[in-house]
Amino acid sequence: MRIALLGYGNVGRAVARLLESRRNHLEGIGLYPKLVAVADSRGVAINPGGLDYSKLEEAKRSRGSVGFYPDYGRIGVKAVEIISDRLVDVDVVIEVTPTNIVDGEPGLTHIREALKSGLHVVTANKGPLALAMPSLLELAHHTGRGLMFSGTVGGGTPFIRFAEKCLAGDRILGLEGILNGTCNYILSSMEDGLSFEQALREAQRLGYAEADPSMDVDGWDTACKIVILAVHIMGARITLKDVEVKGIRGMTKEYLTEACKRGSTVKLLGSVDAKRGRAWVAPVEIPRNSPLAVSGNLNALTFHVENLGSITMIGKGAGGIETAHNILKDLIELKMKLQYRSI
């Protein structure tokens, strides 16, 4: 399996590291991944014989781009050129460039071009899916290629896999949950007495929040995940513009303290109601004994299922290594589907 890795930030580096460290295990189950191309915003590294993880890391760390990879690096070459100009033979594109919810680029073009070129795609990039998931799924179906994206939701908790495998045959009527660990950490810290600003700074210090936390605290990260879940596991035809979004910037520690006195807690929830055709994200006061009343940076998601009732999953949210493990699981599943000719 020849792989092009588009994006070499935290997640991309974790993917490359995991492919290297788990090589013996993967070969033991019949998966022989070869990283033949890696791209970041400044350049690419391409070697049909396979790229060395330690050399990728050295080029990135010492000179700021994989384009300085010895002998096989190219500065100024764009990631999409690996696909459009067929710079190297590739079977699978792993797309992990930064999320962009304005126009989905460059990830949206990467995914479309890869599928049109007959390549399978594994992605953890929420932007393209939140903006154009129905059309991307149709394109994948039309071209007969796989589009795998379990790393977009849940990070270390297999929400998508659970719905696909364990709820197959039943009907999911709705779902609601905490899908952003950063916001959950901030709200939990505010319950302990910190102001929003103090809690945000602490989340940034711990690496839970980015320097620009807008995607998280304004609710857009949760909204992207709600769209992906609604389209994939509920069959909804919605995009990001269909979601009502309110974040947590207006929250005060006084409001959370009053909620605690009422036996409640405040959580940023994302929800989809199939019957009402409504999708929304907002801070909501819920009982402290609710299964969704998890603290810290945990995620929790409740599936409301026609015959099985309500089922809640709780676990770790997104992080570089957690997301990389989901990408690896997608590669393994893709290999199995190809083996049994189900794609």
| The predicted structure's pLDDT at residue 305 | 94
Q: Quick check: 72 pLDDT over 70?
A: yes
Same domain, 150 and 184: no
Domain tally, the chain: 2
Q: Quick check: 9 pLDDT over 70?
A: yes
Residue 186 maps to which CATH number? 3.30.360.10
Q: Quick check: 343 pLDDT over 80?
A: no
Name the 3-class secondary structure at 163.
Answer: helix
Please give the residue range of the domain that contains residue 193: 159-317
Same domain, 139 and 188: no
Same domain, 163 and 306: yes
Q: How does residue 128 score in pLDDT terms, banded at 50, 70 and 90?
A: very high
Same domain, 203 and 142: no
Q: Quick check: 221 pLDDT over 60?
A: yes
- pTM (2 d.p.): 0.92
Same domain, 304 and 172: yes
| The predicted structure's pLDDT at residue 277 | 79
Catalytic sites, residue numbers: 225
